[in-house]
Amino acid sequence: MSRLRTDVTGKASREPARARVRGTGHWSGVRRLRQVRCVEREFVMSSSLAVSACLVPTDLAEGAPPSPESLVYGFTLPAEAVSSRVARATTRVALQAHGLEEMADVAVQVVGELVACAFRFGVDGPVYLSLRWWEGELQVVLYDGHRRHVHPRLAAACDERRGDALRVLGCVVEGAGGEWGFGEAREPGGGTRMWAVLPWAGAREFAG
């Protein structure tokens, strides 16, 4: 049975009725809290499923070492004295990582000769070097910004000078049973393209 209570104004009120009102608000808050927790749980589950769907290896070191067939590198070198050392060191690391350490000495010497020749011709801008393994051979290509001369005599004289500068490279490449050459670059911007192809067996035997 409800008990009447008189407040300071003399008005009567029922205490249980107010209690039920407070109780209704309490249970409404509980329902809202449960709904929020339910939404949070669904968000966490969906996030975990999304993360599990991304096939990202947790440890790249656990995979198989790279093979020679996947050796494809290219990088730009500034016109500075340190570039030749950087190119040689990078080439050695790349070949060792791909299981081609036995031909690293020959390839490093070839790369060093190409970079030195590019900067010997007074190239102020950067040069681009690429390394690629293709069907048992290492392809080394270097692009520099030295444009080919329009006058035939100047072009012939420049080619002769470049050929003389690459004399050591020619001896190394031919000794390994490979090929080399240079010519006008067909890429945008022009310049000169120098290249060398080193077969694995020949480079291995040449290195001794």
Cα–Cα distance, 197 to 25 (Å, whole number) = 83
Are 193 and 185 within 8 A, CB to CB?
yes
Angstrom distance (rounded) from CA 85 to CA 77: 11
Asked if residues 193 and 143 have their Cβ atoms less than 8 Å apart, the reply is yes
Identify the helix (H) or strand (E) that includes residue 14.
strand 12-14
Q: Quick one: fold of 62-207?
A: Heat Shock Protein 90 (3.30.565)
For residues 183 and 192, the answer to whether their CB atoms sit within 8 Å is yes
The answer to which of 63-67, 86-90, 192-196, 200-204 has the lowest mean pLDDT is: 63-67
Supply the pLDDT for residue 60.
54
CA 25/CA 5 separation, integer angstroms: 22
Q: What is the pLDDT confidence band of residue 8, given thresholds at 50, 70 and 90? A: very low
Q: What is the pLDDT of residue 7?
A: 47
Cα 96 to Cα 69: distance, rounded to the nearest angstrom: 13
For the chain, give the mean pLDDT. 80
Q: Note the maximum CA span of the chain.
A: 121
**Beta strand 127-134 pairing with 72-77:** antiparallel
Q: What is the pLDDT of residues 94-145, one digit of tens each?
A: 999 999 999 999 999 999 999 999 888 866 789 999 999 999 999 999 999 8
Nearest residue to 204 via CA among 179, 180, 181, 175: 175
Closest residue by Cα to residue 90 from 70, 61, 115: 115
pLDDT digits (tens, 9 = 90+) for 66-107: 999 999 999 999 988 899 999 999 999 999 999 999 999 999
Q: Where along the chain do its domains lie?
A: 4-53, 62-207
Residue 207: phi and psi, rounded to 5, are: -70, -20
At residue 198 the predicted structure's pLDDT band, cuts being 50, 70 and 90, is: very high
- Which tens digits make up the pLDDT trace of 35-48? 656 555 655 455 55
Q: 83 with 91: CB under 8 angstroms?
A: no
| pLDDT score of 208 | 76
